[in-house]
Structure 1
Amino acid sequence: MEEEPKKDPNEWALAYGDMITLLMTFFVLIIAMSSPKTDEEIELMKKSTGIGDNLMAAELKDSGIFKKKVKSQTKIMVDAYDLLPPIDELELIKEDLVVFMEDNELFDVIELQKTKEGFTIRIMADILFDTGDISLKLEYLYLLDKIAELLSVIPNNVRIEGHTDDRYTDNNNTGDKLSIARASRVCDYIINEEMLLSSRFGVAGYGRKRPLYPNTNDNNRALNRRVEVIIKEIPQDV
């Protein structure tokens, strides 16, 4: 019977040596891949404060992300610059309305006036209401929409007044009732259009008591029939 060859008792040492050799090779490769930092990189690290974007500046520039980020930040700055500051001067409202009136050819039916009390938007009642009626006409609702939009970006209080001509006698206060009903209708529409605070608004109706011109002809009477939106100036000490 043939004898089995005897195993070398030191055979494990060979396998162990091979493993050590592989480990040494691995660590040599790791060290070789870890190249020293360039002078430029060292200088960048010295300048870095450790906050913000400084630590990632090089990578962002190389990848193109940096340009996108700068572009995004620039857009935010431009958008912020384009936004109107909080309106504390009614002159801005006037300028906006003048452009709006020019675009829509409304100079014949609207008058803008700066007063000690504030700023008045005077609208001929005939474009808003039929004779003797209190229902708003559809043709010029876009005008009230614009006024509501402007009032939504300022905190000023507002008073809306109604006025008639002299065709209504004072026997039954017909003119007073009609004028205050029209002012109330305009007020309700503006509040509802932009969901404004009703506490900012007040209404009044003066009938024929405050004419702009003598009621001596049809043209003057048409001008006296009006609705006025009075935006009150905010006191300087508020």
Structure 2
Amino acid sequence: MTHHDLTGRTALVTGGAQGLGEGMARALAAAGATVVIADLQDEAAASVAASLGEGHGAVHLDVTDEAGWEAAVAAAVERTGRLDIVVNNAGVEVSSLAADVEVSDIRTMLDVNVLGTALGIKHALRTMRPGGAAGHGGSIVNISSVAATIAFPGIPIYSATKAAVDRLTRVAAMEAGKLGWGVRVNCVYPGLVPTAMGQGLAVDMATLGLFESPEAAVGAVVELTPLGRLGEVADMADAVVFLASDAARFITGTGLSVDGGMGM
């Protein structure tokens, strides 16, 4: 057994039906955790859960809905009697120049990225703390972004919401520690990964006139990255497994940059 072994633990991953969330769910399962995928995409979530093998599951969740969170964590606890890991990964990004932001897009990103993460932290803490439905402590991993640490054009509101995820993480970690709840709260700052969201972002940058082409936008990101490449899903997933594991047992309230040095 290694410090990264998650055997016997239960993890809930939001937005786990595709992209980074799917990769995180697969990595947690590979480390031994029982994984519950919480997503709006019911069929895709169920398909991913089934592909992980027996014991894993999926639950419908709109992260902006409090009743939905109550049902999702209850379903995770009912599956194994535990909830040890919550990964708040679900997020949305709408590109725009700061001079052209739409109120509806601002509200969407605030609702999913900030409210959704805040509710995930809330219900994870209430479930994991002493006296909660699981009550054995645990680890919360929130997914921020390198956009929270740099001034990259075309994503002003997304960047602001991901900076908010960092602040939520640190305050929740402080409270959980001070109150002796045994829950660690950390976040990850992923760099650009060529998932559907990442590829869409590159197209948006060209559409906004910030770069000559999507390829030029990607090239600019690579040029800003000391390690000289885009991120991979596995890079982000491995970081989540680490923060969820006993290898990170004395780490809380931190933001782990997994961006090839782009945000240094």
When normalised by structure 1's length, the TM-score is 0.33
The TM-score with structure 2 as length reference comes to: 0.31
